[in-house]
Chain A
Amino acid sequence: MRTTDAEGTGTETTVPGTNGNGTAGTGGAGTSGAVTGSAAAGKAARAGRRKQAAAAEERPVLARFPRPARLAGYTLLLAFALLYALPFLIQVATSFKTDPEAASRPLSLLPEAPTTAVFEKLSGSGEAGDGVPFTRWLGNSTLVTVVVTLGRVLFDSAAGYALARLRFRGRALLVTFVIAVMAVPPVVLLIPKFLVLNTLGIFDTYTGMIVPLLFDAAGIFIMKQFFESIPREVEEAARIDGAGIGRIFWYVVLPMSRPALITVTLLSFQGSWNEFTHFLVATQSSDYETLTTGLARFVSGGLGAGTQYPLKLGAALLSTIPVAVLFFCFQRYFIRGANAGAVKE
């Protein structure tokens, strides 16, 4: 599956000539391509000849739609894409509006009188930022996310390696156990988790927020499947050289696992940054509020606080940015994550 996925994303990077302008894989090999500039077309054609095999793969099976249908199709598609993007654009615009403007012109993308009051208030320099201790939320979210991500990468890869490669008694049982755990829906664990945290005396502490998140069955599986795809010969060679299991894992296997490690890192980051229900039941005092719990309580509760939409949307916007940046930089890995474990045998 990874190979095919690479066709979708990969060709764009490996054959820049054919699709530098985003026409993903129209190819120059003969079809009346959309590239009209003569130089570009020539270049594309040359590149196309060079990569004839790849280009053939990219040639559409069926004839293109007639022009009017194509235009209509693009319009419809664009409108649809707008439906997906518009909420975020409105969010950005609204966070620069004043309260009255947000209420009177909710749809406009250009604030009449742009103001950064929201961000001043969120950064704590504005007046009455009491109800929204944004910097505190940000600090808590960052701390928890960083620790959880580091921990998960370590534990997931260790456990994944053991389940994939090491032979020991009870391994099959453990695999079943992990599968069973993955079948437990997280929302039924709300009260149960609270009971455990409380019994352990770590309710409403950073420990209680972090430790339960360190163990994540899905990540273990991603790592396990990746390790199974690594040729055994590599390890055997190291073993002949006298390396122990710990050394092989650390110095041979892990360095080879960069793609999977990056995927797990990103997924852990995104998962713990966006985590809500666990923090909701693991903490109580506002000292431990994260971006998700703080924002959720701020948005859902607080009679008398008024609607304050610019402030709410601004806070939501800032809390989205880190994941958004990672997403746009490492999109490939996110997509792999969505199809994770998609490792060829």
Chain B
Amino acid sequence: MFRRSAVAVTACAVLAATTTACSSGFDKNENGPEQDTGKGQSLRVLVAVSGDAETKAVKKATAAWEKKSGHKVTVQLAKDIDQQLAQAFAGNRPPDAFYVNSDQFANYAKGGSLYAYGEKVPDKEDFAPQLRKAFTHKGELVCLPKDFSTLGLVVNTEKWKEAGLSEKDYPDTWDELEKTAAKLTKGKTAGLVTTNEYQRLGVFMKQAGGWITDSSESKMTADSKENAEGLGFAKKLLRSGSMKYAKQVDTGWAGEALGKGRAAMIIEGNWLAGAMKQDFPDVDYKVLPLPEGPAGKGTLAFSNCWGVAKESTHQKAAVDLVRHLTSAKEQLASSDAIGVMPSRESVMDEFAKEHPESAGWAEGDAYAQSPVTVPGFTKVLDQFNSDLQSLSTGKPATILSTLQRNGEQALKKGD
């Protein structure tokens, strides 16, 4: 008996020793980790790219900085950046710099995973105010906006002509959209293709005069009449067969459907430009502002910022890299390559001049709605997106009341 308990005690002791003696991945220094100040530091950058075009642009830009600074940068492409970042923060091994989506920003900032470097950037005033606001936490600008994009209606000009339509027929209202979509639906081509997420279908809610929350994001307004009208219109299109989700036409996203001729019109953002140039250089398309709904025009705006990890040991170098990547010159270069709009006001005019074809997106800046950024809201919006998948057989009012209920609970929990 003595032996067994002795063994048990030893085993427990060994177990305890191993668990405590090793440097735990959870241990964090109050003031952040000790900084590497040497030369030739090696930085990891995690990006979620929209396609090969963006990959190339990012690599080119970081390579230029490598040459300038003497440091080394490894660019990693995230397949699912939210999941990878969540795991990296929890595992205490975050990349040094990474994309932060505006809808995840609040989660990371609140959790203390981001190094707030924004205030130290001398020319921060040049970045568009609404973008700076999106990446401010507790009155501090945390990270620099990378770029921004809005959604537009993109038409395949060839399909357009095939259907006997001219420029005069570009849809300006819901009615016209419905009619042209029906006209363009033929064989394997769907009139209008988009993805089943509120980040696209939300435009109809906005155009009907509604939105998920009030403007301060403190109250849910999901179950409003306007929202139901917006989704009702989308449902009508889905049921008529003239609107399809990208997956229903065997594509991964709407841009691929446009390029492969499975869609005559799509609702997509600026990043489409780079992807089309890369993957479908021969397909002609035209970008239009989204048609007006009962409450006028409406679109959604998206933005990323360059986050720098609090746990990074290369904060200084990472900030330097980010400043290089967000410089006016690099922003214009990435606009050329990817299609996204610059986040600096000083170069917006130049962008508009150089990219007249993107005017349909650029004008959306004036009336665009940003995504919901409430911390802890991811699951709520995921659920909404799932419900939207069965919009064609579901009831908009039911979907919205579920969203209202779930959102209210999340808001209450966040307080």
A200 in contact with B19 given A284-B84, A304-B271, A306-B252 (CB within 8 Å)? yes
> Once bound together, how far apart are the Cα atoms of A30 and B59, in whole Å?
76
Which of B26, B55, B79 has the most C-beta atoms of chain A within 10 angstroms of its own C-beta? B79
> Once bound together, how far apart are the Cα atoms of A306 and B49, in whole Å?
12
Which of A199, A203, A300, A303 has the most C-beta atoms of chain B within 10 angstroms of its own C-beta? A303
Q: Is B77 an interface residue (CB 8 A)?
A: yes
A285 close to B4 (CB less than 8 A): no
B79's contact among A130, A201, A285, A297, by CB below 8 Å, is which?
A297
Q: Is A31 an interface residue (CB 8 A)?
A: no
> Once bound together, how far apart are the Cα atoms of A128 and B57, in whole Å?
12
Q: Is A170 an interface residue (CB 8 A)?
A: yes
The stretch of B86-94, B286-294, B321-329 that contacts the partner chain: B86-94
Q: Is A13 an interface residue (CB 8 A)?
A: no
Q: Is A244 an interface residue (CB 8 A)?
A: no
Q: Is A258 an interface residue (CB 8 A)?
A: no
**Number of interface residues, chain B, beta carbon within 8 A:** 41
B23 close to A204 (CB less than 8 A): no
Q: Is A131 an interface residue (CB 8 A)?
A: yes
A199's contact among B4, B26, B271, by CB below 8 Å, is which?
B26
| Residues of B contacting A304 in the complex (Cβ-Cβ under 8 angstroms) | 49-51, 252-253, 255, 271, 275
A203 close to B80 (CB less than 8 A): no
A198 close to B24 (CB less than 8 A): yes
Give the contacts of A138-169 with B (CB-CB under 8 A): 169
When each residue 59-73 of chain A gets 1 if its CB lies under 8 Å from chain B and 0 otherwise, what string results?
000000000000000
Which of B3, B25, B90 has the most C-beta atoms of chain A within 10 angstroms of its own C-beta? B25
A198 in contact with B91 given A285-B44, A304-B51 (CB within 8 Å)? yes
When each residue 171-202 of chain A gets 1 if its CB lies under 8 Å from chain B and 0 otherwise, what string results?
00100000000000000000000100111111
Q: Is B256 an interface residue (CB 8 A)?
A: yes
Nearest chain A CB to B339 CB, angstrom units: 12
A301 in contact with B251 given A199-B24, A284-B88 (CB within 8 Å)? no
A197 in contact with B95 given A304-B252, A304-B271 (CB within 8 Å)? no
Which of A169, A201, A298 has the most C-beta atoms of chain B within 10 angstroms of its own C-beta? A201
Which of A198, A298, A304, A305 has the most C-beta atoms of chain B within 10 angstroms of its own C-beta? A304
Which of A194, A197, A301 has the most C-beta atoms of chain B within 10 angstroms of its own C-beta? A301
> Once bound together, how far apart are the Cα atoms of A189 and B260, in whole Å?
42
Q: Is A307 an interface residue (CB 8 A)?
A: yes
Q: Is B330 an interface residue (CB 8 A)?
A: no
> Once bound together, how far apart are the Cα atoms of A197 and B195, in whole Å?
37
A204 in contact with B253 given A128-B55, A199-B19, A302-B79 (CB within 8 Å)? no
B22's contact among A201, A281, A284, A306, by CB below 8 Å, is which?
A201
| Residues of A contacting B56 in the complex (Cβ-Cβ under 8 angstroms) | 128
Q: Is A103 an interface residue (CB 8 A)?
A: yes
When each residue 277-308 of chain B gets 1 if its CB lies under 8 Å from chain A and 0 otherwise, what string results?
00100000000000000000000000000000
Nearest chain B CB to A340 CB, angstrom units: 29
Nearest chain B CB to A75 CB, angstrom units: 33
| Residues of B contacting A303 in the complex (Cβ-Cβ under 8 angstroms) | 50, 195, 252-253
Q: Is B7 an interface residue (CB 8 A)?
A: yes
| Residues of A contacting B90 in the complex (Cβ-Cβ under 8 angstroms) | 194, 198
Nearest chain B CB to A227 CB, angstrom units: 23
Q: Which residue of B lies closest to A191 (CB)?
A: B90
Q: Is A108 an interface residue (CB 8 A)?
A: no
Q: Which residue of B lies closest to A296 (CB)?
A: B79
Give the contacts of A187-245 with B (CB-CB under 8 A): 194, 197-204
A203 in contact with B91 given A285-B76, A297-B79 (CB within 8 Å)? yes
B25 close to A201 (CB less than 8 A): yes
> Once bound together, how far apart are the Cα atoms of A300 and B50, in whole Å?
15
A131 close to B77 (CB less than 8 A): yes
When each residue 124-154 of chain B gets 1 if its CB lies under 8 Å from chain A and 0 otherwise, what string results?
0000000000000000000000000000000
Q: Which residue of A lies closest to B7 (CB)?
A: A170
| Residues of B contacting A200 in the complex (Cβ-Cβ under 8 angstroms) | 18-19, 22, 24-25
| Residues of A contacting B357 in the complex (Cβ-Cβ under 8 angstroms) | none
Q: Which residue of A lies closest to B49 (CB)?
A: A304
| Residues of A contacting B271 in the complex (Cβ-Cβ under 8 angstroms) | 304
Which B positions have Cβ atoms within 8 angstroms of A?
Answer: 3-4, 7, 18-19, 22-26, 44, 49-52, 55-56, 59, 76-77, 79-80, 84, 87-88, 90-93, 95, 195, 250-253, 255-256, 260, 271, 275, 279
Complex A-B: 24 CB contacts under 8 Å:
A128-B55, A131-B52, A131-B55, A170-B7, A173-B4, A194-B87, A197-B25, A197-B91, A198-B26, A203-B93, A284-B93, A286-B76, A300-B79, A300-B80, A303-B50, A303-B253, A304-B50, A304-B271, A305-B252, A306-B51, A306-B251, A307-B250, A307-B252, A307-B256
Which A positions have Cβ atoms within 8 angstroms of B?
Answer: 103, 128, 130-131, 169-170, 173, 194, 197-204, 281, 284-287, 297-298, 300-307
The 6 closest A-B pairs by CB, nearest first: A301-B79, A198-B25, A297-B79, A203-B91, A304-B50, A304-B51
Given contacts A285-B76, A297-B79, A304-B255, 13 further A-B contacts (CB under 8 A): A128-B56, A169-B7, A170-B7, A173-B4, A198-B26, A200-B18, A200-B22, A204-B93, A286-B77, A302-B79, A302-B252, A304-B49, A307-B252
